[in-house]
Amino acid sequence: MTDAQPATDMFQGINPATGEALPGFFSEATVDEVAQACEQAAVAFATYRQKSGAEKARFLEAIAAEIEALGDELLTRAQAESGLPLARLTGERGRTTGQLRLFAEYLRDGSWVDARIDTALPDRQPLPRPDLRQMLRPLGPVGVFGASNFPLAFSVAGGDTASALAAGCPVVVKAHPAHPGTSQLVGEAIERAVAASGMPAGTFALIHGRTTAVGMAIVEHPAIKAVGFTGSLRGGRALFDAAARRPEPIPVYAEMGSTNPVFFLPGILKEKGAALAQQYVGSVTLGVGQFCTNPGLSVVQRAPEADTFVEESGKAVGQLAPATMLTKGIFQAFTKGIDKLSQTAGIQVLAQANPADSFANGTPTLLTTTADAVLANPAIAEEVFGPSSVIVQANDREQLLAVARGLEGHLTATVFGTDAELADYADLLAILEQKVGRLLINGFPTGVEVSHAMHHGGPYPATTDSRSTSVGTNAIVRFARPVCYQNFPDALLPDELKASNPLHIWRLVDGKRTN
């Protein structure tokens, strides 16, 4: 970043609430600069991959401390670039540093490497068994793309970076152009942690750029061995396709969008439909509808209690006010999406907040349609990123199940019901289990806990790999691969596989878990 008069290849951050340019100029990285960062990461990998879990843990903790040391400067800049309130950003900073420290704890435990040992059986007939020892080892340098909707927790030091560094992989981050100043501050904090922790130069690099060429240069560089991405289906698919075209294809772990359907069963609506309507609208519009898990689709069965729910949901939306979206481009895409939906056959606009003039104010919108319309036109169920949702009204149980069967992959699905009807709708739960990565009962999906058991992923098009998560400690395995060591002398084995188990980790030894 520089405050000097910019060259033509430089840009500034933009305040989405006002449209004004923010202080500081950022350079569009050249292909040569991207290549240099990737090559330095490859050199660093030779050393960084050998760092112990304890050393990497201290490094991650140092990053967390450096981010916290930025204080209000970081929060103020993030607010100016994102339009998000300070309270939200304060919590997001805590989530960012918290997940870094969670991975540090996970590294100190050490069992994540999934060590497996089959001891030699020299006398086995008809053939002896060799000594076989397997564990997860880091893939290599990882390219990470910062997300627009979480300028801290899914950005420069977010989950993808934390899990890749924890696995032993250097990281090259492409900062999101919507918050370059925030990204620069965090990137410099990580660089300070690299130096303070004695990690090799090249363990981390931050690249700025507004063009797709910068991102593609990272994905296409032969030193990069995997990619983490959070963003649109179009962007994620473009990176995935580029990675597949490489002479050496690499995995792209892309989270690309989801409407997170919510099914409201009749009994629960009869008991508490009005309250659920308020909570539903609150979840739809949380963060101006710019979370990965806002429910953009709900399904009810036609009945008087469903009519009440629809009516109360409309009233709740009508009482809301527009709010600043992350960027002008996101606002324009949201407006275009709502216009397209409202002009689609079978869809009606149920309610909208009173519009307000602003540079990028998104207007909460609730639409309604029939199950017949969705079954005839599945595109109705596609994500419109922003504060909106479509209520689908099914004629009966069988039509509700048909809507569920027709869904594409999503991050989450939720079912609200009484105890009795949840048991009665076991077939609905079985259908949804095949459609999502996280299935909820009687709770809205906004809010993703960073923990060991969390899974934040889902079948395509929600992600490019439904087996992986971008949240929680299991994210580390995306950036590791199994290596088997056959008949190795004990002295040459990693500590995780040595006979004495010096790290005291859990291992699978001759088929039995032991530490």
Residues marked active site are found at 255, 292
Query: Under a CB-based contact definition with an 8 Å cutoff, are residues 219 and 143 in contact?
Result: yes
337, 341, 344, 348 alpha-carbon torsion, rounded to 10° = -160
What DSSP state is assigned to residue 117? E
Helices (H) and strands (E) in the chain, counts: 15, 21
Q: Is 499 helix (H, G, I), strand (E, B) or coil?
A: coil
User: What is the C-alpha to C-alpha distance for residues 285 and 385, in angstroms, rounded to an integer?
Assistant: 11
Instruction: Give the integer Cα–Cα distance in Å for 214 and 219.
Output: 9
Kindly write down the DSSP assignment for every residue of 240-300, as one continuous string. Answer: HHHHHHSSS---EEEE------EEE-HHHHHHHHHHHHHHHHHHHHGGGG-STT---EEEE
What is the enclosing helix (H) or strand (E) of 414? Answer: strand 410-416
Pair type for strands 262-264 and 297-301: parallel
Beta bridge partner(s), residue 252: 227
Q: Residue 139 has which token pair?
A: 């893939």
CA atoms of 130 and 109, how far apart (whole Å) = 29
Q: Locate tokens 């324009």: which residue?
A: 332
Angle between helices 397-406 and 426-433 (to 10 degrees): 10
Closest CA to 173 of 131, 199, 193, 202: 202
Alpha helices in 434-490, H assignment, sequence order: none
Q: Classify 32 as helix, strand or coil.
A: helix
End-to-end Cα distance, the chain: 49
